[in-house]
Structures are given as structure tokens and as C-alpha cells.
Amino acid sequence: MIIPIKGVFSKEEVAQFRAHLDSAPWQDGRLSAGSQAQSQKQNSQLNVDSLVARKLSDKILSVLARQPTFVSAALPLKILPPMFNRYGSGDGYGFHVDNAVRIVPGSSIRIRTDLSATIFFSEPEQYEGGELEIESSCGNQLIKLGAGDMILYPSTSLHRVRPVCKGQRFASFFWIQSMIRDHEQRQILFDLDQSVQSLTIQHGHDHTDVVRLSAAYHRLIRQLADT
């Protein structure tokens, strides 16, 4: 399940993020990489303890809590505080799979990484290369979305960031522990919820089919969800 979510942030909000990111102090991204990933990773990251990183991270979490497609697709239980990276000319990140468990910085809280997310803060025409390449059963998919857009995909996917040839690619990345561990079950619930929302727009909340499908959706959530 690879789900693009358009317009998580408006162009005005993206400009505000970029004003902070353009002037932020960056560090070698390999400092946060495991031993296997260090040889594959070449980029810059914000220090997670910096004031600007915490401020921008909190803004993202606040927006996502009200983003209906994200909530429907991820059914989030825990979200690792978003981090930020920058890929300049020659930077890239080779094929890898994200760690199954991550620890929230500065705490002992562990998060199982069911879903990976990237929010783009550069427009596609502002850099060459830099596509997020995700291996899937339908073949490899190249992702390069507009600034303010988001991609959500299973953390079990083999993926990479192709080398940037020109310009700079700014993004936020983070992981989600879903209430629904199984990817197939989460896909079924997402499809069902999208149908409920579509029928609600057509027929209203009180229509018999809308009420029946909504009740079935919530029965499944009660059976499958970790809380």
C-alpha cells in the first residue's frame, strides 16, 4: 500500500517551513545511521534536539492529527517525531529497509515501524534526480511529489533515494506504529473507510447503506486494533 496524500501543507506553509530549513544548522546524516546504513547514506539532517527541528516536528504532528486521509490510511497508534533531511548535489541513500523498531529520542519509548512517511518540502523542478524509489509487487515506483505532499508506504519495503544531480531536496521523514499491524488488513480497512466517505458525500450520514458500512468498519476496528 503506497499512498500519496496531496496538499498536507499549503504553499504558504511550505514557504514558512523552507525559511526555517534554509537557515537551519545541518549535520552529517550518517550520524543517525546504523552500521549497515552508513555506507549507503549521504545527506544532511537536522539535529533532532535543535529548537527548529522540535518546532517544525510539532507543527507536522498537529496537522497530521487532523488530516483525514492520513488517519484513515495509517490508523496511527504512535508516531516517531518527524525528522528532516536535505540532499544536495551528489547526495543519495542506497537501497535499504527501515529498522523494525525505533526509540523516541530522549526517551525509552519504542515504536514498531509499520509505515514510513516522507513529506516533500522542495518542488520537483527545484532539483534533478532525488526520486524516492520503492520496491513493490507491481515493480519499482519512483516518487517525486510536489512541496507539501506526502507519501506513505510500508516500512518493510526496500527503498532508496536516488542521487540528486542538481539543486537541493528538502523533506521530513518519520515512522508510524499503526493500530493495525497487518498491511493487508490495514488496506482493507482503508478501502472500506474511503467507500464510506464517498457514499456519505453522495447520500448523507443517515443513508441505510452508509450506516451499515460504517458499523461494519468499526466492528472490524474493534476486532483488529491494538490500543
Q: Helices in 66-207 by DSSP H: which ranges?
A: 68-74, 183-203
Position 37 scores a pLDDT of 66
Instruction: Give the pLDDT confidence of 123-177 residue by residue, as tens digits.
Output: 999 999 999 999 988 889 999 999 999 999 999 999 999 999 999 999 999 999 9
Grid cell digits, residue 11:
504553499
Homologous superfamily of the 3-178 domain (CATH):
q2cbj1_9rhob like domain (2.60.120.620)
Q: Is the pLDDT of residue 193 over 70?
A: yes
Tell me what pLDDT residue 39 has: 74
Structure confidence at residue 153 (pLDDT): 97
Provide Rg for the chain, Cα atoms.
Answer: 18
3-state class (DSSP) for residue 217: helix
Mean per-residue pLDDT for 175-195?
97
Q: How many other C-beta atoms are found inside a 10 Å radius of the C-beta of residue 108?
A: 6
pLDDT of residue 36: 62
Q: Which of 125, 123, 117, 214 is nearest to 170 (CA)?
A: 123
Q: Taking residues 181-201, report their average pLDDT.
A: 96
91 vs 172: CA distance, rounded Å = 16
What is the DSSP code (8-state) at residue 8?
S
Q: pLDDT tens for residues 4-39?
A: 999 999 999 999 999 999 999 999 988 766 656 667
Dist CA 60 CA 148 (whole Å): 11
- Phi, psi for residue 37 in degrees, rounded to 5: -80, -20
Element containing residue 176 per DSSP (H, E): strand 169-178
Task: Return d(Cα 226, Cα 129) in angstroms, integer.
Answer: 39
Query: What does the domain layout of the chain look like in residue ranges?
Result: 3-178, 183-224
Length of the chain: 227
Give the number of other CB atoms < 10 A from CB of residue 132. 23
Q: How high is the pLDDT of residue 227?
A: 82
pLDDT tens for 51-104 read: 999 999 999 999 999 999 999 999 999 999 999 999 999 999 999 999 999 999
Q: Are 186 and 1 in contact (CB under 8 A)?
A: yes
- Tell me the mean pLDDT in the region 204-220: 95
Beta carbons within 8 Å of 154's beta carbon, 6+ residues apart: 1, 2, 114, 115, 116, 183
The pLDDT, as a whole number, for residue 137 is 82
